[in-house]
Structure 1
Amino acid sequence: MHRQELIKKWLADLYPGQDIGLEFAAADADFRRYFRATWPDGASCIVMDAPPEKMSTDAYVQVRDVFAMVNVPKLLARDREQGLLLLEDLGRVTYLAALEHDGREQVRRHLLLEALDTLVEIQSASQPGVLPEYDAALLTRELNLFPEWFCAKELGQPLNFAQRQLWDAGVQALLPVLLAQSRVFVHRDFIVRNLMLTPGKPGVLDFQDAVFGPISYDIVSLLRDAFIEWDEPFVLDIAIRYWEKARAAGLPVPAEFDAFYRDFEWMGVQRHLKVAGIFARLFHRDGKDKYRAEIPRFIKYLKRTSRRYQELAPFYQLLLQLVGKDETDEELQAAYPVLSYKG
């Protein structure tokens, strides 16, 4: 039976005798799709369709309960065997859509400060042993998506021996710094596409991959986004405001902002490498080109940070060999000195 027909039958069994409309709402990078079910009185819910032969809904349900202190969708019904969830509808307006509609600085700042409050609330509930560990093995697997999919598939340039040495040197410098960060609940895709404009707190979506890991990960996700780019002074301003809120909440961020911002930037390198690899894989393996055009933004992020810290110079040298120089490199050379992590 076609999945959409399966959903209609499931809804008819849940709400017999009611005329329920069904329309496509969204699709994720993986195999999940979302449909909006609408009743004659205008009420609506969201159906998550996760084909059980391809993925499980268990993690979504678990993390939804863990993150229940913030505005996550209420779980209204579930068919685990068929991979169907009926969820509260948090509306149609994502933070991304709201920011693109009204780009005034006061609007941007207001929305992002609301997002920071939600992030701090999630992090403040953190405890070990609840979510999977964001450990060295997982961080490394994610990093390796870059040479496997961006270099070998997107560029058609598998790393040669000398390039592999640069890569290994960069990874060996990066990982210990990430693993040394304090650990909290990590949403793992805390971006403006996954935040909904709702009354009161922002709605939070797409949290099923949450882990227990480095405290700077989610704020990097928010401020170094795939789909919207902020200028550096604005990023710095919001990062400072996050750091202040985190300290006020008793979260284990470094006592000095400079140290936190270095952690933020280095964490960003891991995420940017991973996301460039994921977006390349989505195109070359899965035939999804929706995200491919955003890869250059992550290469720019990577160049900016790896150029700024001498310990990350192997990544910068590798990027120059892979994609060459551009105006970003000239701007970096003029604007930023080379720093050391320990500074």
Structure 2
Amino acid sequence: MEARLTQLLGKPVIKVTKLYGGASYRTFYRVFSQGDETFILMAMPEGKMSVSEEITNLKEKPKELSYINVQRYLKSLGLPVPEIKLFSEEDRWIILNDLGDTKLWDTVKTAQPNDIKKWYKKALDLLVILQNKTSKDISTSAHQHISTSCIAYQRSFDATLFNWEFDHFLEYYFQLSAVSCQPSAEDKDIFIKETRKITQELCAMPQVFTHRDFQGSNLMVHNNQLTMTDFQDALLGPDVYDLVSLLRDSYFDVTDYLEELLEYYGGQQGWHIKKLRRAFDLQTVQRKLKDSGRFVFIDHVKKNPDFLKFIPTSMGYVKQALARLPEYNGLYDLIKKY
């Protein structure tokens, strides 16, 4: 690997160390070159793509890797994303500038409350800029995709995808050893009926450019600024989707500051706070049920149990949201039962 990287970079590569890649199909390395310059190597496995890519409503096969396509688009808007130093199609390697190892999550997990709020408001500022700069490429009145250069505008959250993610929870969550029993046929029917209603509400929301994983683990802190990573699954989605990803992060709970942060964001984007709260809760139910099922899938199928510890937080978010949605009492009672 060192010899090949030396050839590609045109400078001697001294060492390559593997980095933790989480649940990703991709493999990450830090590349040390002569002169103490470092890079990040992202290796893309042949023929592999995320389940989310496989079932989205993308009509044509992508002509290039989604990461490269979306990075170029976001960079063209002046948004903070990693620099692509080079791409080797032969090796399926993307070499990026090294932003270090400090994520937003690392910064806030030991911080004082005022600093936690400061950093999350900084992240919300970035989300507002992202949504405002990408809004010019969307016809919000007709939901028409205007930008054809960025793959995110060629795919979207629709009923099929939302329902697949709900059903993914139903399929995998109850395989947890901590779950006392399997849902009855009647409970499964209630789950499907209630979640289909949530899907209808989510599909009726205005759609915007959606990062999809705009959360503390995908926001790098470098030179006191935030840089977005892991944006390759971007698509059109409900206007609160990324907000939920950030403020209902399974890896870091900001419940103590949630109302202040929602008001901060809502004030910038012109939301009525009650409408924002309801939309936020609906999207929380969908996203966090999906995450909980996915964490079990990652354990059972990918043999990686690292994410199981985040299920209680995720399901806690679901229960908190459903408690504020009395029209979904049937789903709330079902979730509490198990």
TM class by shorter chain equals 0.7 to 0.9
1:116 corresponds to: 124
Q: Residue type matched to 1:191 in 2?
A: Q
Instruction: Please give the secondary structure, in 2, of the residue aligned with 1:134.
Output: coil
Q: TM-score, normalised by structure 2?
A: 0.86
1:332 corresponds to: none
Residue by residue, what CA displacement relative to the aligned partner does 1:103-136 show, whole Å, maximum 9, x if unpaired? 2122112211111111111111133434111111
1:225 aligns with 2:249: yes
Q: CA deviation at 1:148?
A: 0.6
2:86 corresponds to: 77
Any conservation in 2 of the 1:170–1:313 contact (CA below 8 Å)? no
Residue by residue, what CA displacement relative to the aligned partner does 1:311-333 show, whole Å, maximum 9, x if unpaired? 221221211222xxxxxxxxxxx
Which of 65, 68, 78 aligns to 2:72? It is 65
Q: CA deviation at 1:157?
A: 4.7
Q: How does 1:1-12 map to 2 (within 5 A)?
A: 5=1, 8-12=2-6
Which of 184, 198, 205 aligns to 1:174? It is 198
Q: Partners of 1:265 and 1:115 in 2: how far apart?
A: 20
Which of 307, 312, 317 aligns to 1:301? It is 317
2:9 corresponds to: 15
1:35 aligns with 2:29: yes
Any conservation in 1 of the 2:281–2:322 contact (CA below 8 Å)? no
Q: How does 1:321-336 map to 2 (within 5 A)?
A: 321-322=337-338
Aligned residues: 307
Q: Partners of 2:233 and 2:43 in 1: how far apart?
A: 17
1:148 corresponds to: 171
Q: How does 1:184-199 map to 2 (within 5 A)?
A: 184-199=208-223
Change (3 A) 1:223 1:172: same
Residue by residue, what CA displacement relative to the aligned partner does 1:112-169 show, whole Å, maximum 9, x if unpaired? 1111111111111133434111111111111111101102455485532111121022
Q: CA deviation at 1:53?
A: 3.0
Q: CA deviation at 1:241?
A: 0.6
Q: Partners of 1:294 and 1:167 in 2: how far apart?
A: 22
Q: CA deviation at 1:79?
A: 1.6
Q: Residue type matched to 2:105 in 1?
A: L
Any conservation in 2 of the 1:272–1:298 contact (CA below 8 Å)? yes
Q: Residue type matched to 1:118 in 2?
A: L
Q: TM-score, normalised by structure 1?
A: 0.84
Q: 210-219 or 10-19: which moved more?
A: 10-19
Q: CA deviation at 1:199?
A: 2.4
1:52 aligns with 2:46: yes
Q: Residue type matched to 1:136 in 2?
A: A
Q: Residue type matched to 1:112 in 2?
A: Y
Instruction: Please give the secondary structure, in 1, of the residue aligned with 2:246.
Output: helix
Any conservation in 2 of the 1:197–1:203 contact (CA below 8 Å)? yes
Any conservation in 1 of the 2:5–2:13 contact (CA below 8 Å)? no
Q: Residue type matched to 2:260 in 1?
A: D
Which of 125, 135, 144 aligns to 2:158? It is 135
Q: Which runs of 5+ in 2 are unaligned?
A: 51-63, 139-144
1:24 corresponds to: 18
Q: Partners of 1:200 and 1:183 in 2: how far apart?
A: 31
Residue by residue, what CA displacement relative to the aligned partner does 1:214-249 show, whole Å, maximum 9, x if unpaired? 0101111111111111234x11101111111223xx
The percent identity for this pair of structures is 26
Instruction: Please give the secondary structure, in 1, of the residue aligned with 2:109.
Output: helix
1:335 corresponds to: none
Q: Which runs of 5+ in 1 are unaligned?
A: 248-253, 323-343
1:203 aligns with 2:222: no
**Segments of 4+ moved more than 6 angstroms:** none
Q: CA deviation at 1:262?
A: 0.8
